[in-house]
Amino acid sequence: MATLATLFEPTRLAEQPGRPPHARGMIARFPNNHEPINWNLCLDLGTWACKYGGMHTNNFLTGSMEKHEKAAWMMWAFLQDKPV
């Protein structure tokens, strides 16, 4: 049986407790949340390729990185208030 503490032990992202910001403020935080996710995926790519030889896993991780990069770009574009 697991506890909440054991579920959060391996996490690499820190929580930001406090009052939630307004909608635009929340969107402004999202691109910055994608950067550490991509950084960790990049580190994992090296581990899977070198240590385990998992090229199929690398394809999955690379696809995940592309999705996070696209999501971050779209949010930054939205925050610029300019047509894309």
Q: Please write the tens of the pLDDT for every residue from 45-54.
A: 877 777 777 6
**For the chain, where are the alpha helices, taking DSSP H only?**
4-8, 23-46, 55-79
Domain layout of the chain by residue ranges: 24-84
For the whole model, what pTM was predicted?
0.59
Residue 12: the pLDDT is 66
Q: Are 40 and 12 in contact (CB under 8 A)?
A: yes
Cα-based distances in Å from 41 to 28, 29, 49, 73: 22, 19, 12, 17
Average pLDDT over residues 69-83: 81
